[in-house]
Amino acid sequence: MATNRTLTMIKPNAVQKGLVGAILEKIAASGFRIVALKMTQLTVDDAKKFYDVHEGKSFYEDLYTFMSSGPIVAAVLEKDNAVEDFRSLVGATDPAAAAEGTLRKLYADSKSRNAVHGSDSDDNARIESSFHFSRRELFV
Ligand code: CMP
């Protein structure tokens, strides 16, 4: 069943640079409603688990090390066609290839420090939302 929710993380480089407010403002201005929100820091094991689909890839160790290196902001966002529309707002993985106006074009440092995560499917949106939030942290 398609859902109208997606999961985002504002990554450690963007939090460290003070971009949380600017990014959340862009997200809200693009029509997404925040239904859950928290600042937290992933442990190494958390980050390994969140990104376990990438285990074995050349960038996996750098990815989980970076994602556990400082605080992140996680949020569940609601909008019609949330997964696809949010991926359009986020832009390509590599900021050099990201379209003008996208979050990664505006705020990413590099492909590996690309400022914002967005779920890539409805199934993963559900899995990733449950990873970060319990039922009572989700506000309808
Ligand atoms: P994200 O959308 O969080 O999902 C997986 C992450 O892995 C991705 O953003 C990038 O930060 C990172 N990633 C994907 N491909 C590469 C790559 N080729 N080199 C380095 N990092 C990558």
Could you tell me the distance, in angstroms and rounded to a whole number, from the CA of residue 31 to the centre of ligand 1? Answer: 25
Question: Which pLDDT does position 71 carry in this prediction?
Answer: 98
Distance, in Å, from the CA atom of 66 to the CA atom of 53, rounded to the nearest integer, reads 16
SS percent in the chain: helix, strand, coil, step 5: 45, 15, 35
**CB-based burial label for 43 (10 Å; 0-12, 13-18, 19+):** exposed
Binding pocket residue ranges, ligand 1, CB within 6 Å: 54, 59, 63, 93, 111-112, 114, 117
Report which of residues 98 and 3 the model is more confident about. Answer: 98
Confidence class for position 23, pLDDT limits 50, 70, 90:
very high
- Report pLDDT digits (tens) over 70-93: 999 999 999 999 999 999 999 999
Distance of CA 22 to the CA centre of its chain: 15
Among 93, 89, 87, CA closest to 108: 93
The predicted structure's pLDDT at residue 140? 83
136 CA to middle of ligand 1, Å?
Answer: 30
pLDDT band at 38 (very low <50, low <70, confident <90, very high): very high
pLDDT in tens, 88-138: 999 999 999 999 999 999 999 999 999 999 999 999 999 999 999 999 999
Cα 74 to Cα 8: distance, rounded to the nearest angstrom: 6
